[in-house]
């Protein structure tokens, strides 16, 4: 196999699914870092976002790319409402109860999608898109857009966290919630903002998963383990860690096909998760260990 084939058939798909995992992992790592629990409904939130976009494409005949920002906004709103209704009242109780509640929410979100859209796989648009050659690199336009949008979203988020008031408040709460509150940070507003970001990015992850393959009601749940592995590999609470972690998991998954039966692709994320917990639980970028 030539180097170019390796890139076209393994590295590019790996980077695409890696960017998708990264978008999901950012939300997971922010929730884990700031609110301090593992959010198990994240994958199904991505599924919901993907199907909301599908609904917009189907009912309003929008282009998928126009539907994406609207779906992100709607999912962000859903995330805020879910937090208020199902997670907020557990705030003072052991965090693991919120983890459990989120497992229930995952099931509820999925069944809503299954009732509204059915369980048969669907696509945003039919027809085969041929890859174009860029000096030997075979790329489809949707792959370029996936990569560019994911990069744009990540850069925007990182600038937001670094330079804005609210971004600083989020980082402060992640470092020490008590101290942040004493310094006048509005914990409730930060929580809400966290959910807006996490929900919007989850919807984007679901959308890109759907447009690069197909939509099915289990797609988010199946990606959840990879997203968690990415968040922990990068370091809990670290956005740049989630990105690197996502890309690593995506690449390793695709490359694992070279040595393992392709059915076990999903297992590689788990292996990486266990290894990182064994050798460096704080992750590549030295995140939190809860």
Partner 1 sequence: MDTLGLLNYAIFMGVLIGIYALLSLGLNVQWGYAGLFNAGVAGFFAVGAYLSALFTAPPVPDRIMGWELPTGVGWFAAMAAAALIAWPIGKVTLRFRSDYLAIATIGVAEIIRLVLRTEDLLSGGVRGITGIPRPFGDLPYEWSQLAYLGLTWGMVVVIYWALERQLAAPWGRMMRAIRENELAAAAMGKNVEARRLEAFILGAAIMGLAGAVYVHFMRAITPEAIDPMMVTFLVWIMLILGGSGNNRGAILGAVIIWVIWSSSELLTDRLPAEIATQAKYIRVFVIGLMLQLVLRWRPEGLLPEGTHVRRSS
Pick from 100, 123, 145, 158 the residue near partner 1 by CB under 8 A: 100
Stretch that binds partner 1, among 59-67, 191-199, 203-211, 220-228 (CB under 8 A): 220-228
141/262 with CB nearer partner 1: 262
Q: Which residues contact 47 (CB under 8 A, 6 or more apart)?
A: 109, 110, 113, 206, 215, 217, 218, 219, 220, 221
Stretch that binds partner 1, among 103-111, 158-166, 181-189, 196-204 (CB under 8 A): 103-111
Cβ contacts of 138-145, under 8 Å, gap ≥ 24: 138/8, 138/12, 139/12, 142/211, 142/212, 143/12, 143/16, 143/212, 145/65
209 vs 20: CA distance, rounded Å: 7
Asked if residue 290 binds partner 1 (CB under 8 A), the reply is yes
In the numeric block, which tokens belong to residue 191?
């929580």
Asked if residue 93 binds partner 1 (CB under 8 A), the reply is yes
Pick from 110, 194, 215, 239 the residue near partner 1 by CB under 8 A: 110
Closest distance to partner 1 from the beta carbon of 87 (Å): 10
128 vs 268: CA distance, rounded Å: 30
Stretch that binds partner 1, among 1-9, 32-40, 59-67, 166-174 (CB under 8 A): 32-40
Asked if residue 202 binds partner 1 (CB under 8 A), the reply is no
Pick from 234, 269, 285, 287 the residue near partner 1 by CB under 8 A: 269
Closest distance to partner 1 from the beta carbon of 207 (Å): 22
175 vs 238: CA distance, rounded Å: 11
268 vs 255: CA distance, rounded Å: 10
Residues in the chain: 290
Asked if residue 197 binds partner 1 (CB under 8 A), the reply is no
Give 234-276 as a DSSP string. H-BT-HHHHHHHHHHHHHHHHHHTTTS-GGGHHHHHHHHHHHH
64/110 with CB nearer partner 1: 110
Asked if residue 46 binds partner 1 (CB under 8 A), the reply is no
- Give how many residues touch partner 1 by CB under 8 A: 47
First to last CA, the chain: 44
Closest distance to partner 1 from the beta carbon of 26 (Å): 17
Nearest CA-CA partner of 104 in 38, 41, 27? 41
Are 278 and 266 spatial neighbours (Cβ–Cβ below 8 Å)? Answer: no
Q: Which residues pair with 122 in a beta bridge?
A: 215
Pick from 73, 257, 267, 284 the residue near partner 1 by CB under 8 A: 267
Asked if residue 207 binds partner 1 (CB under 8 A), the reply is no
Stretch that binds partner 1, among 97-105, 124-132, 133-141, 172-180 (CB under 8 A): 97-105
168/288 with CB nearer partner 1: 288
Asked if residue 284 binds partner 1 (CB under 8 A), the reply is no
The contact set with partner 1 (CB under 8 A) reads: 32, 37-38, 40, 86, 89-90, 93-97, 99-101, 103-108, 110-112, 114-115, 118-119, 221, 224-225, 228, 232, 261, 263-264, 266-267, 269-270, 273-274, 277-278, 281, 289-290
């Amino acid at each position: 196999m030539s180097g170019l084939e390796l890139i076209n058939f393994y590295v590019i798909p790996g980077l695409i699914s890696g960017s998708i995992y990264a978008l999901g992992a950012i939300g997971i790592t922010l929730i884990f870092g700031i609110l301090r629990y593992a959010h198990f409904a994240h994958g199904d939130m991505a599924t919901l976002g993907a199907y909301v976009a599908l609904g917009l494409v189907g009912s309003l005949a929008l282009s998928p790319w126009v539907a994406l920002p609207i779906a992100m906004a709607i999912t962000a709103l859903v995330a805020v409402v879910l937090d208020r209704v199902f997670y907020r009242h557990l705030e003072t109780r052991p965090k693991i109860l919120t983890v459990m509640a989120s497992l229930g929410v995952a099931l509820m979100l999925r069944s809503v999608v299954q009732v509204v859209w059915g369980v048969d796989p669907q696509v945003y648009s039919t027809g085969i898109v041929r890859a174009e050659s860029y000096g030997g690199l075979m790329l489809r336009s949707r792959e370029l857009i996936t990569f560019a949008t994911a990069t744009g979203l990540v850069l925007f988020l990182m600038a937001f966290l670094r330079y804005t008031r609210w971004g600083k408040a989020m980082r402060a709460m992640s470092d020490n919630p008590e101290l942040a509150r004493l310094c006048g940070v509005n914990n409730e507003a930060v929580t809400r903002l966290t959910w807006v970001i996490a929900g919007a990015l989850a919807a984007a992850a679901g959308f890109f998963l759907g447009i690069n393959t197909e939509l099915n009601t289990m797609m988010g749940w199946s990606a959840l383990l990879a997203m968690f592995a990415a968040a922990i590999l990068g370091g809990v609470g670290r956005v740049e860690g989630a990105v690197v972690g996502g890309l690593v998991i995506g690449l390793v998954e695709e490359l694992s096909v070279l040595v393992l039966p392709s059915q076990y692709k999903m297992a590689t994320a788990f292996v990486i998760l266990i290894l990182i917990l064994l050798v460096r639980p704080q992750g590549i970028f030295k995140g939190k260990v809860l």
